[in-house]
Structure formats: C-alpha cells, structure tokens
Structure 1
Amino acid sequence: MYFRILHDESQGLVSYLLADLDAREAVVIDPRAQDVRIIEAMLQEHHLLLKARLFTHAHDGLAPADAQIRSQQLQQGGLVELGAEHLRILNTPGHTADCLSFLWRDRLFCGGLLSAAECPRQPKVAAPQAMWDSVMNTVFKLPAETLTFSSHARATSPVSTVMAQRRHHPWFSGLSRDDFLNLMPH
C-alpha cells in the first residue's frame, strides 16, 4: 500500500492519497483543487488509476461537484473497494450535516469531526447533537490505538489516536453531553 498526506499548513487543510500498488488503484480523501497537479504526478509516478475522490464533508450542505462516490454508495457500513483493500464508510454527522468518515485498517479519516474549530470555511458546528453522538457512539467506540486523520489542522496535528482524543479533546474529554452542547456557539 501507498499512503501520502498533503498538508497545506497555511490554510490548515489536509488531503490523503491511498493506493494499492499491486492493483494500481488509488483513492484520494478530501482533495483540494490546489493539490490536483501533485496528486496527478503521484498517480503517474506509480502508474495508478484514481478510482474515487472521497469527501468527508461538504460545506453549506452542498456536495462537491467532482465527488465521484456519494449518495447510495456511501451508506453506513458500505465499502469503497481499493484493490485488495477496502475502506468502510461511517456516517458521522456533526461538523456538517452529512459528514462521513472512512475507516481503513486501523486508520479513521474523519474530516472535520474532531477538528471543527480548525475549519477555515465553517467555524461553527452545523449539528452539535449529531456531532456528540458521532464522536461518542462511533469514533470513541473504536479501539484506542486507531489513528485519526483530520482534514483540518492549522494549530494541531492532523494525526492523533482515539485514545488521545478520548483523554484530551477539549470538547469531548470529561464533559457531559449537556456541557458539550453549552460550549458550542449558537
């Protein structure tokens, strides 16, 4: 497998490229227009076919125009095939109403779910109750060693673990649901 992180530190935006080198297939998660040339170069260098562009979220409820996989294929528990590998789809609304996360092996690509305060396009959480439920009932139920990958990281690292998030996340660690909801801007 081939895995690359594309991090624009000035904007705090992160994209991810995953590829099965044997099958010559790749997916990109949360690609930015500015990354197109770099992604194309990596695909060409390894003779890879881009199988899908996956988006963990779209702002203002609008799906990105170039999203190849969305709607019926992106259902809870569904799979995105990548050669001999697959990514499991998890519905994790909160940062935006239609947020998704993609679980690959022990890695969770969760978009803005755990880093909504870092988002340059939407500083407020769209659905605080849904976010609480997504984090507590989906993300925090994963094994502690699961790596989390954010699509927003200006002041923080884009990579963490479920255990670190459980212990240290400023919105979820040690707070009740009511405390969390009171913290969220209205």
Structure 2
Amino acid sequence: MAICDTWPAYRQDWCVIHRDAGYTLLVTDGLSNPFISRMEPSVGFGLEFALETDQPLKAVGESWPFMILERVANEAVTHERVREGAKMGLFSLAVSGKGLPKSLVNEDGQVGVLLGVESRTLPRQFSTPFGEVRLVTIKALLPTEWEYVLKVGHQPHGPSGFRRLVRAQYLALPELIHDIDTRPG
C-alpha cells in the first residue's frame, strides 16, 4: 500500500463556489495537480472532493462543512484505499467528530461520510490537459445512517445497501448537507 502524506504539488487549496438558492459548494483544488516529484505529466491522485451545503457559512475555513472536507481530503492523501475506493464509486469512512455538530457525531466521537453519491448538478468527472479527474461528493451521515452503512457494508451484498441508503426518502438531495443541528460537539 502506498502511503503519502502530502498533496501532489505540495499545495492545499480549496474553492468556495456560491450557487443558486444560497447553496455553497466547497471543493478541494490540488489533489489532481501533477506530482511535483515526477517529470511526467499526471493528474496527481486523479480526484477532487466536493461538499455542498444550503447553510450560510460566515467564516468558511472555520465552518464544520469545511472541516469535514479537509478531514476527508487528508484521509485520501494519507491512505491509498480511500483514494481508490472514492474513484470506484460509493465509499464510506469515518472522520474525527471534534468540533463538528453534535447531531452528526456518533458515540465513538466520529462522523460517518459517504463518498461518491451521484449529484444532479455536478459532473462525475472533468477533463484536464493531463487526463480525466473524478469529482467525488461527500455526504455527512447522521449516526443512525452511519450505523446502517456499517451494517450493510459487512454483508455479502453490502454495496447495494449504500444504494438503498442514497435512494431513501430522507436523502432527497443526497449530495447536499442540510437540516443539521449545527451546534459543535
């Protein structure tokens, strides 16, 4: 397993995109940069992460949606299995719940996230001069949703459980974080 602890061009950047209806889209910008240590062109890790919220963000860099995006990006930089899983389709992982809304934090102090939920408004991938890059959405899960993901993920037909969760009525806009009690944990 390849382990890396830096972004491809040693540059961590983030885009903040204000969209219609007051939505804010937060996107990593640098995971698909060419590796600075290699001579040949590349798309770095070949992915970028996106998280969208309908909540107003006053100080984006201190907001809990940004914290989740940053923690997921750091997991991807450090762990090849996260990068590869995110590129393949639906993938789940848990990140530290420190400073995140209590309503998202489970009894282990973590927040479960679902990566790669199809978006109605974002492309699945985009082109760069050096190749295609996968745009991976991040969906924060409530503790009950995370418990369900863990339960179905360990069954023989686990991935279909992810799809059932995404299609569930309470995830009407699955790529969007909304209706969360925002008090930090």
Please confirm whether the aligned pair reaches a TM-score higher than 0.5, indicating the same fold: no
What TM-score results when the alignment is normalised by the length of structure 1? Answer: 0.31
What TM-score results when the alignment is normalised by the length of structure 2? Answer: 0.31
